[in-house]
Amino acid sequence: MNTNKILLQGGCVVTMDEQFTVVKHADVLITGERITAIQPGINADDCEVIDASQHIVMPGVIDTHRHVWESVVRGRAGDYSLMEYLQHVLGPLAASFRAQDVYTANLMGALEALNAGITTLFDWSHIMNTPDHADSAIAGLKDSGIRAVFGYGTPGTSVWDWFYESRLTHPTDIERICRQHFSSADQLVTPALAIRGPEYSAFDVTVQDITLARRLNLPISMHIGCGTFAAKYQAVPQLAQGGLLGPDMNMAHGNYLTEADFKHLADQGCSVSITPEVEMQMGLGFPATGRAIAGGLAPSLGVDVVSGVSGELFTQIRMALQTERALVNDQELRHGEMPQRVSLTMADALKWATINGAKALHLDRKTGSLAPGKQADLLMLSTDALNLSPVGDPIAAIVSQANVANIDSVFVAGKAVKRKGQLLYPHLSSLRQQATRTSGYLVEKALMTSLASV
């Protein structure tokens, strides 16, 4: 048997191509890293055959904005506003991280994502306290087997120095990191620059940071349009005026951007990451999903921080979709009209978490939908569970009903990372113990730092 070939046999295949094609009984042939055929009745000779009947086969979902290092401080920010989060999580907690803690956190956080069917994520890593922290973050991502864009951010050593209208330019260790870790563009983990942008650093610092990214040919991501910072710092008008916007830019949040701002971003080919759960919690504003679409953007989704919110995308998909519907319905209700139709579709929402995410990360030639030639990043959802059976519309089943417990198998670049409901990472229990020790250490250290500063 040629183990280079895997045949997922007889599944309900949700491709997420342009036409939202669903093939109710089809085989998916994986050869090495790639999908090589999707059709019924593929010859199974010299393939490892996996029975995909009673399963939905779909693209791996894509998280375009996540601070993976916060996995070991899970749940600590569940009652925080953005201002409290900046003060406590990006304050003493971030400063307490040792390089080995970042390794544990990134490995644990990336495995958590894989377990939840997230095959690709953007790791917005603002815990670059030393060069060792950067190396550890990258090692954690690589050891997990996930596809990731590593967004090299600023140190977490002082939120006062590095955020809040910071005058410090981005660390240039990124040049060494690119040489040392990212010599090929054809790897699972690729680099980007996670800059603070006009809402968290002085504008001339932003200009220098963008110049650094473009000199190194790195994609750029920043937080923008967060609550009252949008009106205060006028980030998009300033960037537009400086001729700085471009298709290499990803903007997280955008809650309080104006119609004109969204048009500027769309005209210049920028992407946007909506992280609905944390935005509504922390006071960034309502998710801007509908306004971004109206402006001509194709939204993608992210978890942002598991220190505050849930770490999987089913929740984010539902929150983004239903919040947007509620906002549109509310307009009609306020005019004394009962809504006759709802806005957006479940297929639209699934697109945000799949192909739109791939486009936002410039990875759509590789991932984000199922098609021959693409990398085999995919999931099998078991449909015999009570919450999915019987399946009527498979896209509706994914968007409105599915949860992490339904994920039977996950493949990244043709390699199984989860099978029969279990992650294949071999040292899960010792990693969990390490994460618990790390978390205890960090919380105690941060508390001592806080007390010492009183």
Instruction: Tell me which residues touch Zn ion (CB under 5 A).
Output: 304
User: CA angle 316-396-67, nearest 5°?
Assistant: 15
CB 102 within 8 A of CB 140: yes
Q: Give the residue with the Cβ less far from Zn ion, 199 or 304.
A: 304
Report the side by side order of strands in the sheet with 189-194. 61-66, 118-125, 147-152, 189-194, 220-224, 249-253, 271-274, 300-301
Q: Give the residue with the Cβ less far from Zn ion, 284 or 397.
A: 284
| b (16+ CB within 10 A) / e for 21-51 | ebbeebbbbbbebbbbebeeebeeeebebbe
The CB-of-341 to Zn ion minimum distance in angstroms stands at 34
Q: Give the residue with the Cβ less far from Zn ion, 137 or 395.
A: 137
CB 442 within 8 A of CB 108: no
Q: How far is CA 247 from CA 207, 221, 271, 379, in A?
A: 16, 11, 7, 29
418's CB contacts (< 8 A; 6+ apart) are 114, 115, 407, 408, 409, 410, 424
The CB-of-14 to Zn ion minimum distance in angstroms stands at 29
The CB-of-233 to Zn ion minimum distance in angstroms stands at 16
Task: Provide the CB-side half-sphere exposure for 137 (13 A, CA).
Answer: 31
CB nearest Zn ion: which residue?
Answer: 304
The CB-of-67 to Zn ion minimum distance in angstroms stands at 6
Q: Give the residue with the Cβ less far from Zn ion, 30 or 361.
A: 361
Distance CA 193, CA 191 (A): 7
Instruction: Output phi, psi for 44, to 5 deg.
Output: -95, 5
Distance CA 220, CA 238 (A): 16
Q: Give the residue with the Cβ less far from Zn ion, 304 or 377.
A: 304
Three-state SS at 422: strand
The CB-of-66 to Zn ion minimum distance in angstroms stands at 8
Sign of CA dihedral 239, 289, 317, 327: positive
Residue 409 tokens, joined: 């198998």
The CB-of-158 to Zn ion minimum distance in angstroms stands at 18
Q: Give the residue with the Cβ less far from Zn ion, 304 or 312.
A: 304
The CB-of-338 to Zn ion minimum distance in angstroms stands at 38
Residue 114 tokens, joined: 């894989």
Q: Give the residue with the Cβ less far from Zn ion, 63 or 304.
A: 304
The CB-of-189 to Zn ion minimum distance in angstroms stands at 19
- Helices and strands (DSSP H and E) totals, the chain: 17, 17
Q: Give the residue with the Cβ less far from Zn ion, 197 or 394.
A: 197
Q: Give the residue with the Cβ less far from Zn ion, 11 or 308.
A: 308
The CB-of-360 to Zn ion minimum distance in angstroms stands at 14
Q: Give the residue with the Cβ less far from Zn ion, 7 or 194.
A: 194
Instruction: Provide long-range contacts, Cβ within 8 A and 24+ apart, for 176-182.
Output: 176/131, 177/131, 177/134, 177/135, 177/138, 177/152, 178/216, 178/218, 180/135, 181/135, 181/138
The CB-of-65 to Zn ion minimum distance in angstroms stands at 6
Residue 407 tokens, joined: 């994920």
